[in-house]
Amino acid sequence: MSGTPRKVALVGAKGMLARMVQASTPPHMAIQGFKRPEFDLTDADQVRRAMEVFRPDVIINCSAFTQVDRCESEEGLATRVNGDGPGCLAAVARDLDATLVHISTDYVFPGDAERPYLEGDATGPISAYGRSKLKGEQAIRESGLIKYFIVRTSWLYGPWGKNFVETILRLAAEREELRIVADQIGCPTYTGDLAAAIFRLLDLEDDQTACGLYGIYHFANEGQCSWYDFACEIVSLARQKGLPVKTRRIEPIKTEQFPLPAKRPAYSVFDTKKYKMAVAASIPSWQKSLSTYFEVR
């Protein structure tokens, strides 16, 4: 890859995933971050002005209202950020002939499947967060933009942000017993792997046949587990690394024993064959990537 680096507008630049994207940027990409308060995704005029000045080749949207339970009481705001905002970015990308990468979620599905979800499976969100994220997907698909990648991911963790791994490490250092939900099954995803996946998808555009490769992709680390399984592996690795661990017992519990305002999908495992075939690359197991995270955190 040679020539002038592609100009990339990174929206939501302060977030956990965005910071990993910045840290992982390849030499043929030149990233500029856009973040609040200077860049408000809910202000369509401001978004358009900023993008028309910068004139990116690529827009990566890592901005989202991700506080799942708060979305239940603030669904209007969630919809403006997660639904209307991506639609605005898609319209601008269309007019500037830019490519849009948008990060979506397993919450667009109802969580009642009996096999891993494919990209074309019927959606049916059961929470305000899921509804708002699905509206964002729909806004992109209805915008007339052709050059887009919607990347659905799940159970995201990584440096530079609050996440389940850090919560369990904190609790394990404080408590002798942990009670963790064991009847929600999903795919943990390390931000380092997701950032690499974003750039691999963008590199498809160097292929003259790439026009048929735009659309929705599922990406998560290989395998599946419950939150309980995930917590057990986190505590085990913490002991191996010599981190402070006070926990002696981890008790599996049911979802109804830990009630929260928003419903969570009971099953949100992704089929990632489409991504792996498109980029001709494998995806690390969730256990391997969790171990990697312990080395870099």
Residue 209 pLDDT level (bands cut at 50, 70, 90):
low
Enzyme catalytic residues: 129
What is the per-residue pLDDT across 244-286, written as a single tens digit (0 to 9) for each?
999 999 999 999 999 999 999 999 999 999 999 999 999 999 9
Summarised one tens digit per residue, pLDDT across range 88-100 is: 999 999 999 999 9
Domains annotated for the chain, with CATH where assigned, are 6-162+189-222+269-283 (3.40.50.720)
- The Cα 233–Cα 240 span in angstroms is 11
Check residue 153 and give its pLDDT. 98
Q: If you search the block for the tokens 């991504």, which residue do you land on? A: 275
Q: Is 159 exposed, middle or buried (0-12, 13-18, 19+ CB in 10 A)?
A: middle
Quote the pLDDT of residue 3. 75
Confidence of residue 37 (pLDDT cuts 50, 70, 90): confident
Q: Is the pLDDT of residue 2 over 70?
A: no
Q: How do residues 132-147 score in pLDDT, each as one tens digit?
A: 999 999 999 999 999 9
Among the residue ranges 34-38, 51-55, 56-60, the one predicted with the least confidence is 34-38
Answer whether residue 212 shows pLDDT above 90: no
Question: What pLDDT, on a 0 to 100 scale, did the predictor assign at position 60?
Answer: 98
- pLDDT at site 140: 98
